[in-house]
């Protein structure tokens, strides 16, 4: 495949970065994962806006405008067309490489910009029989207090994900110290009770997911389901009729089991079917 590194397009095997890069030494950087199907990105602009916001919060200036980033990703996708129809772009900007390792932001270093393309499964389809059936476990959210920044420092998320994975689950749903839902290790979370759809409000405790953003806009425009952004307790999650995970690769994915308990009747729900149908129809 062809990757982008610091202004150049080159074969992946030829891409080199310094081991002194602060992305490597400190996890000092921002990343994005943007899906595309048949050459069309989903949510490209909001993904890039979130990245620019993250870079600004870390005082990293890559010197590229929104339009420059759009061109970069579109160009990289075009160069990798032969890899398949369904491709995601991984994009990472770190603070760059320094001659020594010091915590303070070094003056005059150049950010490292790296992007590669990888094949993803076809877009999820709204079909109960073919739907993924997520099993999740719950845990106390032990990550830091800047979870709204899509930082490459993902150890907290990795450890939580592994906690579920080691128990045979495919996600770990997290609760803050007040016992309220934050998100999952790599997804946002929605719950449904008596026809009302709810998800936690944006805060420093969770990533402002682009799938969450697009889904909320679609629900408010095209559906009559009541939609709430509010605190959701552990008891509410455990008693929900439906629980969904959202992320760029999953779109809206039904959770059928939490810990040792079924969600609803243990099958993807009717509202999930409706909502993934709407998402598929309006996501671009």
On the CB side of 280, CA atoms within 13 Å amount to 14
Question: With binding defined as CB under 6 A, does residue 186 bind ligand PDD?
Answer: yes
- Which lies closer to ligand PDD via its Cβ, residue 49 or residue 74? 49
Of 21, 28, 171, 183, the one binding ligand PDD (CB under 6 A) is 183
Residues 152-171 that bind ligand PDD (CB under 6 A): 157
DSSP one-letter string for 2-59: EEEETTEEEEGGG----TTBHHHHH--EEEEEEEEETTEESSHHHHHHHHHHHHHHTT
Question: With binding defined as CB under 6 A, does residue 188 bind ligand PDD?
Answer: yes
Closest distance to ligand PDD from the beta carbon of 207 (Å): 4
Closest distance to ligand PDD from the beta carbon of 100 (Å): 30
Residues 207-266 that bind ligand PDD (CB under 6 A): 207, 209-212, 246-249
- Which lies closer to ligand PDD via its Cβ, residue 80 or residue 247? 247
Please identify, among the stretches 133-141, 195-203, 206-214, 256-264, the one whose residues bind ligand PDD according to the rule CB under 6 A: 206-214
Closest distance to ligand PDD from the beta carbon of 247 (Å): 4
Residues 78-117 that bind ligand PDD (CB under 6 A): none
Q: Which two tokens stand for residue 252?
A: 């809206």
- Which lies closer to ligand PDD via its Cβ, residue 110 or residue 220? 220
Burial of residue 262, with CB atoms counted within 10 A of its CB: 0-12 exposed, 13-18 middle, 19 or more buried: exposed
Please identify, among the stretches 74-82, 92-100, 173-181, 203-211, the one whose residues bind ligand PDD according to the rule CB under 6 A: 203-211
Q: Which of 150, 221, 250, 283 is catalytic?
A: 150
Query: Which strand (E) or helix (H) includes residue 193?
Result: strand 188-193
Sign of torsion over alpha carbons 161, 152, 97, 79 = positive
Q: Are 275 and 250 in contact (CB under 8 A)?
A: no
Query: How many residues comprise the chain?
Result: 284
Sign of torsion over alpha carbons 129, 196, 146, 93 = positive
Would residue 150 show up in a list of annotated catalytic residues for this protein? yes
Q: Are 44 and 91 in contact (CB under 8 A)?
A: no
Enzyme catalytic residues: 150
Kindly list the residues in this chain that would bind ligand PDD in the complex (CB under 6 A): 33, 157, 183, 186-188, 207, 209-212, 246-249
């Amino acid at each position: 495949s062809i990757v982008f590194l610091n202004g150049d397009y080159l074969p992946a095997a030829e891409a080199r970065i310094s081991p002194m890069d602060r992305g490597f030494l400190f996890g000092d950087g921002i990343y994005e994962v943007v899906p595309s199907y048949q050459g069309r990105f989903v949510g490209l602009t909001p993904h890039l806006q979130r990245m620019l916001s993250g870079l600004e919060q870390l005082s990293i200036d890559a010197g590229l405008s929104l339009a420059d980033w759009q061109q970069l990703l579109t160009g990289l996708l075009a160069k990798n067309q032969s890899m398949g129809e369904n491709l995601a772009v991984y994009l990472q900007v770190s603070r760059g490489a320094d001659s020594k390792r010091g915590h303070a932001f070094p003056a005059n270093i150049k950010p490292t910009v790296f992007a590669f393309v990888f094949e993803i499964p076809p877009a999820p389809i709204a079909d109960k029989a073919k739907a993924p059936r997520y099993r999740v476990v719950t845990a106390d959210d032990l990550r830091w207090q800047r979870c709204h920044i899509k930082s490459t420092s993902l150890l907290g998320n990795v450890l939580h994900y592994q906690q579920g994975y080691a128990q045979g689950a495919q996600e770990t749903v997290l609760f803050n110290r007040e016992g309220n839902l934050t998100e999952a290790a790599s997804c946002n979370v929605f719950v449904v009770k008596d026809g009302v759809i709810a998800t936690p409000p944006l805060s420093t405790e969770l990533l402002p997911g682009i799938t969450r953003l697009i889904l909320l806009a679609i629900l408010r425009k095209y559906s009559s389901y009541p939609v709430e952004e509010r605190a959701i307790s552990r008891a509410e999650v455990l008693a929900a009729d439906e629980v969904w995970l959202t992320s760029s690769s999953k779109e809206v994915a039904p959770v059928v089991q939490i810990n040792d308990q079924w969600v609803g009747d243990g099958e993807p729900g009717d509202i999930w079917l409706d909502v993934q149908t709407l998402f598929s129809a309006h996501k671009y």
